[in-house]
Chain A
Amino acid sequence: MEGQEKKSNKDEYLNFLAKEKEIADRIIDHSRSMISIINRNYIYEKVNSTFCNAHKVITASIVGKTLGEVWGQEIFQNIIKNNIDLCFTGKTIRYEAVFNTPKSGRRFFEVTFRPIADENGEITHLFAETFDINDLKLSEKAASEKEEEFRKLETNLPIGFLRCDREGKIIHANNAFLTIMELQAENLVPDLNMKNFYPDERFFDMQFNNLLECQSKSFGRISLKNGKGREVPCRISGFPAIDEKGVPAFIDFIVEDSSREMMLENRLLQAQKLETIGALAGGIAHDFNNILATISGYSEMLQDDLPRYSPSSEKVSKIQGAVLKAQSIINQILTFSRQVEQEKIPVDVSEVLKETIGFVKSAFPPKIAIRSRIRKRKANVLADPTQLFRVFLNLMTNAMQALEEDEGTISVRLDVVEGKRIQHEINKDIVADEYVLLTFEDTGKGMEPSLMGRIFEPFFTTREVGKGTGLGLSVVHGIISEMDGEILVSSRKEKGSVFYVYLPVSKEYADFEATIGGKKKILFIKGNKHESRIFSLALENSGYELMYISDQKNLEIVMSDIKDRPDLIIYMNDSKHIRPENLIGLFRKLEINTPCIFITDPNQEIFEEKILNSGIVKQHLLKPVSLKEISNAIQISLK
């Protein structure tokens, strides 16, 4: 009875154990991990059914096999073996690896090895649990890719982004913000406050308080002080990042650099201003031309009434001289306001530039170095060569005047650039595939930015009253605009100024019909050889036969030849070897009456009235003379 009881207790216990084992086995079998027991010889002693399923085999075909046989020798040696050896030293090992299982292919697993010791404490086996973490890995990877993408976007965005704490201290700023503020990453010290960039801290506090009250706000354009102490106009918006309690945990700012926008706005404003002044000046010029026509008409009548060479006649000549000067100023105003029609022909800019440089080299003080780099041999634009000469001469003269104590360097460059490349640089529509870009750079005293905005206005001058009319650059602006070109300037105080002139390249070549000239012979009595060359560039294609003479002897030879005498003489007053009185003397001696056009400089008073009144001067033009004026004068004189 007692024995039976004992037996039944033992059975019960065994039953209990068996049940417990069954439950434990079931738990192990149903685990989502591959579970196994491995001995010191790297042989599987036990595996669960998840393990078998993954390998699509039954338990018996795994138990007794080595890990190398199950996973492949290479994977065993490279990935598994070390970890197992480590585990046999008594450590629990956890690692991640990719394994290939017959059931699911290549997947990510997390492997845990736990040492199992026997009753003597010696580690004889290890417990391996291999858990499929592939899905987890994939979503982790996707999340980190998303984050990376966002980070890249935030980094590369041309808009400054920064996050501040509730005190305004900058927690994070992207690259664009650093670039706008001209900062380096190391400038972002922990205590850096957004407030530091504001010129007025109270203004910042006011804005910041708004944001702390949970209102997003666009603050418009504010000038921030950048890392180099310069002011940068920025468009700023703020957004409170509100946490679950409804309080802004951070304040985010978006900072956009609006310097370019401002610059374009300013330029537009300048252009509009010039346009308005131009219209106004044009209207005034119109009235003045009527007045001048009246004055000049009456003085011509007076001149006819008065005996030639009488003192009164000379006084009338002075009135006429003054009219001519007034006319020249009005002409400049009209050129600025683009109300003078320019006669344009295809002309090689490099040639005009070279002549201008030659002219300038002979006229400027010797300590001024003039460097030129002409990249393109032939660059045709549609222009009046005399006007182009005027533009270049003016810019170089200005450069010379900007140099202190007549010392320094003027650099001139000619390049050809693609139209589409300069789309963002110039404020006009691109009208040609290519543009000539002329750069005039000096090492002079430079300009204040406030001055720079006004230099193209007529009568604006920084020189003392009486020195220069203040029309030079406005005329330059007018001529270039009339050519669909653009002039821009950049300048730094004490460093110098650079003028950029863009002119559209013309595909037309100088072979249009030369009918105006009708093969009439024009004798050109040269003044400065470079300036004369400009005039001949202008007239070469008009169908006139041009001859050039610069000395008295040759002049006499040409004029004595009755058969081949020129139909017209153009005389430039700075001809060194032929004086006006020599010319008049020759005319009297040979008893000839060839019409003459005199081109004189309004600033040089060497021209005597008696020469103008001698009767041989058919037309008297004052420099600067345009192609249009000279062709008109030629046509009138040849009638």
Chain B
Amino acid sequence: MARMKFICDAERCIECNGCVTACKQENEVPWGVNRRRVVTLNDGVPGERSISVACMHCSDAPCMAVCPVDCFYRTGEGVVLHDKDMCIGCGYCFYACPFGAPQFPQAGAFGMRGKMDKCTFCSGGPEKDNSKEEFAKYGSNRLAQGKLPACAEMCSTKALLGGDGNIIADIFRARALKRGKGAEVWGWSAAYGKPDNPQQQAPKGAKP
């Protein structure tokens, strides 16, 4: 099996935050921690694009490289996980990660950082699979149940694909070939008609 990966199809994502909700619900993620979130570029401007972002389970993960206590490991399926019993909450992984994936619960006194929490590709952590301890620390272990991550399986438009990198790449490739080119087929003009003035510039002061 290839490495487990996520792909988000920006042509399809409608910023419904269903993936975020599915993740929160499936893993009972505490308040203030967002393992997954939807990022929108050119929000409010015709042609805006959204993508769902979480841990990308990097092949050469910078979080693993900088961890001073070496609490990260990569499973045989290419999922980057960590041992919360070892994590000291230093935050180095947060600074190293280009996607802002590591999250820290701030429930303690004086804004103290807790142990790092991040997307586990719904594959739990170093505890007995599907045990209470695993769920309490890392959330659901769907891979050990023969399922795929809840965010991808719950995505209403199937914008977010998760699973074996080769398979989801094939699905995405076949989709991109069949639907034709970009926004004319799936995006703004399909939903709302073609713009009156295609050369129109984005309004001044528009923020991403």
- Please determine whether chains A and B interact with each other in the same assembly: no
